[in-house]
Amino acid sequence: MSNVEFKRHRRLRSSNAMRSLVRENHLRVEDFIYPMFVIEGENIKNEVPSMPGVFQVSLDLFKEEVQEVYDLGIKAVILFGVPNDKDEVGTGAYVETGMIQQATRLIKKEFPDMLVVADTCLCEYTSHGHCGVIHNHDVDNDESLKLLAKTAVSQAEAGADIIAPSNMMDGFVAVIREALDEAGYTNIPIMSYAVKYASAFYGPFRDAADSTPQFGDRKTYQMDPANRLEALREAESDVEEGADFLIVKPALSYLDIVRDVRNNFNVPVVAYNVSGEYSMVKAAAQNGWISEKELVLEKLTAMKRAGSDLIITYFAKDVAKWLAE
Ligand code: PBG
């Protein structure tokens, strides 16, 4: 081979220490935001059938759940509420006794340095399961914005550290920013679900949050998975309107979009590793078809490599344990 010229890339892969030395991307426990579902009622800890290891937990048992997350060194959680009563206008989203509001107060009292991200949406609270109010069989953008702003302010009043609007109405960042500022919450950042696709990967979440639309789908507000430029338009509007973080959701099939958003904007980028992405791995692992730990670490590292700074993931607790080993 002496007269053939080629590069010896394997030199830098020769041992664990060598690979470690040249590794370009790393996972840290500080990268993770852990999603939690708080359900109305008492003494409830329901495992979500399509999401093994993920539970809907009532407030009286919630402290224990958060304690576990806290002890693992996870610095942030994102909260979703599962109320008993729903109505046409999603009242449960913006009342003081709302599930997110109560859970937020509890966390901020017991774990003051745990960051609470409040998912700001109506779909878990509306009887029809859509993310806003319905007029003429479609979600009314501007009417929904008013309720969304009210929701954000009530979550901030409860002590939320970050407001994360997810209903994909046009102008939601602008309207929420204005409402938060007027209420005196100028220092509360907005983590916008800026780029959110109408995805089949949300199926298991809708079981967990009981938020399946009762008619139609979300395609008039969430994005078409076929589109890439549209993601940049969405992100651009949100940054102009004052978004402090940009979420791309789902993550795994959209890493090209994570990279586009990273390359075009200077705010922290968050990949949402959604429910379906979790369930697929769990199902395969339960069947012994894949090696769960290796696969999860690989795919989350891929999200970092694609350019995300933070990852919202149901695997956060598992990964925190693995990283500590
Ligand atoms: C609320 C919301 C959804 C998810 C996060 N916030 C559901 C949806 O839009 O249908 C999905 C998260 C997941 O699948 O893990 N609008």
pLDDT tens readout for residues 265-285: 999 999 999 999 999 999 999
Was 275 annotated as part of a binding site?
yes
Q: What is the structure's pLDDT at 147?
A: 97
pLDDT beyond 70 at 136:
yes
Was 123 annotated as part of a binding site?
yes
Was 292 annotated as part of a binding site?
no
pLDDT beyond 80 at 223:
yes
Q: What is the structure's pLDDT at 1?
A: 60
- Are the C-beta atoms of 274 and 199 separated by less than 8 Å? yes
Q: Report CA(24)–ligand 1 centroid distance (Å).
A: 31
Q: What is the structure's pLDDT at 211?
A: 87
From residue 36, how far is each of 77, 156, 162, 227, 285 by CA, in Å? 7, 18, 15, 30, 22
Which amino acid, residue 135?
H
Q: Report CA(3)–ligand 1 centroid distance (Å).
A: 58
Q: What is the structure's pLDDT at 51?
A: 97
Q: How confident is the model at residue 3 (pLDDT cuts 50, 70, 90)?
A: confident
Q: What is the structure's pLDDT at 210?
A: 86
Q: What is the structure's pLDDT at 105?
A: 98
pLDDT beyond 80 at 2:
no
Distance, in Å, from the CA atom of 165 to the CA atom of 159, rounded to the nearest integer, reads 16
Q: Whose CA is nearest to atom 8 of ligand 1?
A: 202
Was 121 annotated as part of a binding site?
yes
N- to C-terminal Cα separation, the chain: 43
Q: Report CA(167)–ligand 1 centroid distance (Å).
A: 9
pLDDT tens profile 201-214:
999 998 888 888 89
pLDDT tens profile 22-32:
999 999 999 99
Q: How confident is the model at residue 173 (pLDDT cuts 50, 70, 90)?
A: very high
Residue to mutate, 166, 210, 219, 313, ligand 1, most ligand atoms under 8 Å from C-beta? 166
Over range 294-319, report the average pLDDT.
Answer: 98
Distance, in Å, from the CA atom of 198 to the CA atom of 185, rounded to the nearest integer, reads 31
Query: Which pair of structure tokens corresponds to residue 208?
Result: 């967990």
Whether 94 lines ligand 1, by a CB cut-off of 6 Å, is no
pLDDT tens profile 95-104:
999 999 999 9
**Which ligand 1 atom sits closest to the C-alpha of 35?**
15
Whether 168 lines ligand 1, by a CB cut-off of 6 Å, is no
pLDDT beyond 90 at 187:
yes
Distance, in Å, from the CA atom of 56 to the CA atom of 117, rounded to the nearest integer, reads 17
Was 94 annotated as part of a binding site?
no
pTM over cut 0.80: yes
Whether 275 lines ligand 1, by a CB cut-off of 6 Å, is yes
Q: What is the structure's pLDDT at 174?
A: 98
Whether 221 lines ligand 1, by a CB cut-off of 6 Å, is no
Q: What is the structure's pLDDT at 137?
A: 87
Over range 175-181, report the average pLDDT.
Answer: 98
Q: Whose CA is nearest to atom 5 of ligand 1?
A: 166
**Which ligand 1 atom sits closest to the C-alpha of 199?**
10
Whether 223 lines ligand 1, by a CB cut-off of 6 Å, is no
- Are the C-beta atoms of 261 and 231 separated by less than 8 Å? yes
> Please, what are the domains in the chain?
26-324 (3.20.20.70)
Over range 311-325, report the average pLDDT.
Answer: 97
- Are the C-beta atoms of 69 and 317 separated by less than 8 Å? yes
Q: Report CA(205)–ligand 1 centroid distance (Å).
A: 6
Q: What is the structure's pLDDT at 96?
A: 96
Paired sense of beta strands 269-273 and 245-249, if any = parallel
Over range 82-104, report the average pLDDT.
Answer: 96
Q: How confident is the model at residue 160 (pLDDT cuts 50, 70, 90)?
A: very high
pLDDT beyond 80 at 306:
yes
Q: Report CA(60)–ligand 1 centroid distance (Å).
A: 25
- Give me the percent of the chain exceeding a pLDDT of 90: 94
Q: Whose CA is nearest to atom 10 of ligand 1?
A: 202
Catalytic positions are 196, 249
